């Protein structure tokens, strides 16, 4: 991140939350489930799929995790009720991974079970490295009972290629992304091109081994490389999909859709939008311009 953008994000962090929401709202559907339903319906009308996510992470009480689980049930209910083309993404720490691993496992199992009843799918997001092993353990245990669950892996982690070589044999369904958390250098590649090369190497291996992959990136270079691999391997369209975040690079989203690939948008919603939105602002290479524009378009 360049120093001006870094300064801008630090400045945004000292503003009151109501002000930050002016910049954050581009990246979140809104505070209510109805907001997410509306956004998913708009996407579906363009032939774009969605994954819904209720925001919130690293909770401090089990009751908060139960609240998150209830929101997940509600999402599954509305997807069924309104016949939405959507699944649900979950964050293990919002379901108690940071409090009690067994409790978290049970919470996630209940969600996957309910999704199974609805013939739907649950994607387990990947958080920072203190949770990597326990997230994989939960995935493995749940997969012993259910097949409608997949996980996220992060190309910036040095361990990921070795992880997926093992997981591929079990037919795991993946989302592959670069990774967003700040990790130490002995655990994560830091160079932009290094991360990209690892992404391509991992994707190549996953697709060669026949695993379903959600290719989650807005990086032009990686999208071109993914197109190349898909073509080389003559992959049918139901063996992969592209994934992007709500509010990011819509022109690329529309191009991929127009090219006839499956594409799914991550639609976050909920009252706890702050941490997520700050991460998005940090990733926006034009954050200074974006914030200036948002201020001047205020009515
Ligand atoms: C569907 C989905 C789910 C994800 N789930 C996880 C997860 O479970 N765990 C995890 O660690 N990470 C997750 N991520 C985040 C991911 O790891 C990256 O941090 C994020 O996608 C940015 O990486 P990039 O590949 O788009 O490359 P970048 O190099 O960051 O971005 C490429 C280009 O996209 C544009 N761009 C990117 N972000 C923004 C933005 N916020 N605003 C405006 N333009 C932008 C810019 O033009 C930029 O040059 C997810 C990402 C997606 C798309």
* Per-residue pLDDT tens digits for 148-176: 999 999 999 999 999 999 999 999 999 99
Q: Count the domains in the chain.
A: 2
* Domain span holding position 163: 29-272
73 pLDDT more than 60:
yes
The CATH number of the domain holding residue 208 is 3.20.20.220
Clarify whether residues 37 and 20 are in a common domain: no
198 lines ligand 1 (CB under 6 A): no
Clarify whether residues 200 and 236 are in a common domain: yes
Clarify whether residues 57 and 136 are in a common domain: yes
**Is 175 one of the annotated active-site residues of the chain?**
yes
Distance 145 CA to ligand 1 centre (A): 32
Clarify whether residues 122 and 248 are in a common domain: yes
**What's the predicted TM-score (pTM) here?**
0.96
Q: Which atom of ligand 1 is nearest to the CA of 265?
A: 1
**Is 125 one of the annotated active-site residues of the chain?**
yes
pLDDT number for residue 298: 58
Q: How does the average pLDDT of the chain come out, rounded?
A: 95
CA distance 50 to 44: 8
Clarify whether residues 22 and 37 are in a common domain: no
294 pLDDT more than 90:
no
For residues 297 and 25, the answer to whether their CB atoms sit within 8 Å is no
Distance 23 CA to ligand 1 centre (A): 17
132 pLDDT more than 80:
yes
Ligand 1, pocket-test mutation among 52, 285, 287, 293, most atoms within 8 A of CB: 285
295 within domain boundaries = no
Tell me how far CA of residue 266 lies from CA of 9, 33, 171, 244, in angstroms: 23, 14, 23, 6
217 within domain boundaries = yes
297 within domain boundaries = no
Clarify whether residues 4 and 41 are in a common domain: no
CA distance 242 to 271: 27
Distance 259 CA to ligand 1 centre (A): 21
Clarify whether residues 21 and 110 are in a common domain: no
Clarify whether residues 237 and 219 are in a common domain: yes
298 within domain boundaries = no
Question: Predicted confidence band at 74 (pLDDT cuts at 50, 70, 90)?
Answer: very high
Clarify whether residues 15 and 83 are in a common domain: no
pLDDT number for residue 299: 46
């Amino acid at each position: 991140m360049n120093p001006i953008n870094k300064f801008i994000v630090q400045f945004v962090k000292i503003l009151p939350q109501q002000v930050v929401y002016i910049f954050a709202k581009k990246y979140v559907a809104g505070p209510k489930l109805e907001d997410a339903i509306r956004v998913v319906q708009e996407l579906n009308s363009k032939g774009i799929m969605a994954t819904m996510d209720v925001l919130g992470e690293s909770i401090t009480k089990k009751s908060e995790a139960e609240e998150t689980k209830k929101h997940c049930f509600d999402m599954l209910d509305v997807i069924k009720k309104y016949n939405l083309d959507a699944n649900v993404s979950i964050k293990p720490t919002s379901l108690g991974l940071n409090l009690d691993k067994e409790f978290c496992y049970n919470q996630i199992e209940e969600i996957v079970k309910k999704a199974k009843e609805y013939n739907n799918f649950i994607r387990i997001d990947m958080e920072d490295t203190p949770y990597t092993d326990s997230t994989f353990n939960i995935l493995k245990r749940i997969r012993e009972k259910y097949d409608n669950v997949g996980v996220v892996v992060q190309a910036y982690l040095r361990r990921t290629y070795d992880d997926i070589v093992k997981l591929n044999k079990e037919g795991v369904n993946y989302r592959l992304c670069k990774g967003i958390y700040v990790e130490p250098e002995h655990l994560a590649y830091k160079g932009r091109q290094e991360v990209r090369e690892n992404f391509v190497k991992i994707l190549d291996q996953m697709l060669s081994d026949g695993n379903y992959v959600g290719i989650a990136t807005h990086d032009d270079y990686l999208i071109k490389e993914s197109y190349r691999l898909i073509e080389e391997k003559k992959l049918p369209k139901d063996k992969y999909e592209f994934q992007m975040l709500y509010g990011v690079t819509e022109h690329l989203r529309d191009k991929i859709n127009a090219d006839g690939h499956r594409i799914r948008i991550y639609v976050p919603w909920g009252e706890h939008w702050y941490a997520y939105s700050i991460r998005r602002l940090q990733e926006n290479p034009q954050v200074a311009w974006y914030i200036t524009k948002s201020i001047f378009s205020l009515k």
